[in-house]
Amino acid sequence: MSHIHSPEKRPPMSIIALILAMTTILNLVSCASAPAREPQDRIQVGLHRYFAERNIPEFPSTLPKLHFSSDEWKARALGLVESAEDYIMIDSFLVNYHPVNSAIMEALVRKSREGVRVYVIFDSSSYFTYMPDQASFLPTALKYFEGTPVRVAEYNPISGLRLFSLPSLLDRDHRKFWIIDGKHLAVGGMNLNYYSLAPSGEYSNIDTFAEIEGPGPLAHMVDSFCRTWNRNSPDPIEPGKFGIPEKKTDSSVWVVDQVPGEPSKVDSLFDAFFLFAEKEIWMLQAYTFSTPELVRKIKTATRRGVDVHIVLSANSFRAAYDEASKYCIQDLLEAGAKVYMFDAPDNSFLHYKLMLADGYLAAFGSPNFNYRSQYLSREIALVSADKEVGAQTLLNLREIMKYANPVLMEEARQYRSLSYLTSYLGMLFGG
C-alpha cells in the first residue's frame, strides 16, 4: 500500500525568489529582537545541573561510535538497514534519490516489503536541492518511495497558503537522525542525499555521525519521532507500539532535541561550551553566520583567556554560503577567536557541525553556529563528556587541521564588500 500523499512537483523559481526575499527582510527584524541573555562569564552550577535546568536530558548510553566520513557512514547506514527486524525511523532534513545513495534507498524498500516498518520524515526543503550542474532538481523521498510500503511524511510543506505565512515557512526540520529497532540511535550532519554521500572530490561533504545504544535515549527519540510524524501525517503512530530493548551501558550522553517555539536548546548548548570551557574551544562550523549575540558568546570565553578556534571551509558548492561565512570573519577575529579556512586536497566541503571544549566535551549533530539553528529550526545534537570520545575527536581534528590555514585580519577585511554582505543577509535565514 502506498503512503504517498501528493505528487512531486518542481518548485517554480519565482516562488523560491519570493521566499528568499521576504524571509531575508523578516530575519533582519528577528535578529534585532533576539531574546536578551543575562550576562555571565562561566557556568556556576556545574554542567549536569546546567543542562537539567534547561530541560536537556542526560541518559546512560554506550560509548558513542564516531563516523568521520561519508564512506564510513554510508556503509554503516546500509548495514543498519539490512539488520533491521522490526522498524526503521529516519528523520533527515534533505532526502533525495541519486545513484550514490541508491543502495540505501533500495534496501529501505526491500526491508519494508519484508515486513519491517519503515518511516521517513524529510523536510520540504528537499524540493529545492539542485544537482551540481545547478540546472536540475533531485527527486525527493516522496517521489522515490511512491507505490512502496515505505511510509513518508513531509515536514511543514512549502506550498499553497503557507507561502503567505512566513512564521510557518521558517519552521524547518534540520535534524538528521536514524533509529533502528529501538537498539541504535545515530545522530549527525549527514543528509540522505547526493552531497552528503557523494564520492570524494565530487561536490562531496566531509561530515560526522555519532551512534549510541541505550533504552533511555532511544525511547526519548522514538517519542520525538512519533510526535513529529503525527503533526505532519494523517496516519498517526504511537510510541508504545515500538519496542525498546534493554542494553548494558558504559557511558552517558545529553540529547539536545530542539522544537521551535520553545526556549532554545541550541542557544543553551552554545552557552554551555562558551561558559564551561577553561582552556580551549574548537568549532568546525562552515556555516558560521555570526550575529551580535553569537559574537558576544565568543567574547565571554576569550575574555577569560579561553582559546576559541573556528574552522570554516572552502569548496562550497554555492557561492552564497562561501561569501556569507567569509563576511563574518572580521567579527570573529575582533571577538578574539582564531579563524581557519579548511581546503581539502580533493575539494570536498567540511560540513561538520562539531564543537569540542577542553579536549573532552564534544557535541555532534545538526546545529550550525548561526541564528537559524539557534532559534528557527528543529535541531538535534548528542553531547558527550567522555574523555575517550574527546580523544578520538582530537585525532580527527589534527587530520583536518593539516589542510587548514589561519585567516588574518588583512584578508578578513577584503570580504566586507556589498556582494558579501548581500550573501550574508540571505544566509541568516537560508544557512
CB 298, CB 336: distance < 8 Å? yes
| Mean pLDDT for the stretch of residues 249-256 | 98
Q: Is the pLDDT confidence value at 256 over 90? A: yes
* Structure confidence at residue 199 (pLDDT): 83
Model confidence at 45, pLDDT cuts 50, 70, 90, reads confident
Exposed (0-12), middle (13-18) or buried (19+): which is 207, by Cβ within 10 Å? buried
Model confidence at 7, pLDDT cuts 50, 70, 90, reads very low
Q: Does domain 40-60+256-431 have CATH number 3.30.870.10?
A: yes
Say how far apart CA 431 and CA 422 lie, in whole Å: 13
* Structure confidence at residue 22 (pLDDT): 46
pTM: 0.90
CB 24, CB 428: distance < 8 Å? yes
Q: Which amino acid is at 405?
A: N
Tens digit of each residue's pLDDT (9 = 90 or more) over 48-84: 999 999 999 999 999 999 999 989 999 999 999 999 9
Model confidence at 24, pLDDT cuts 50, 70, 90, reads very low
Can you spell out the DSSP letters for 373-395?
IIIISBEEEEEE--HHHHHHHHH
Radius of gyration of the chain (CA): 21
3-state secondary structure of 333: helix
Strand duo 117-123 + 151-155: pairing? parallel
For the chain, residues classed under CATH 3.30.870.10 are 40-60+256-431, 69-207+215-248
Tens digit of each residue's pLDDT (9 = 90 or more) over 266-323: 999 999 999 999 999 999 999 999 999 999 999 999 999 999 999 999 998 888 999 9
Q: In the CATH scheme, what is the homologous superfamily, with its name and number, of domain 69-207+215-248?
A: Endonuclease Chain A (3.30.870.10)
pLDDT higher for 204 or 301? 301
* Structure confidence at residue 160 (pLDDT): 56
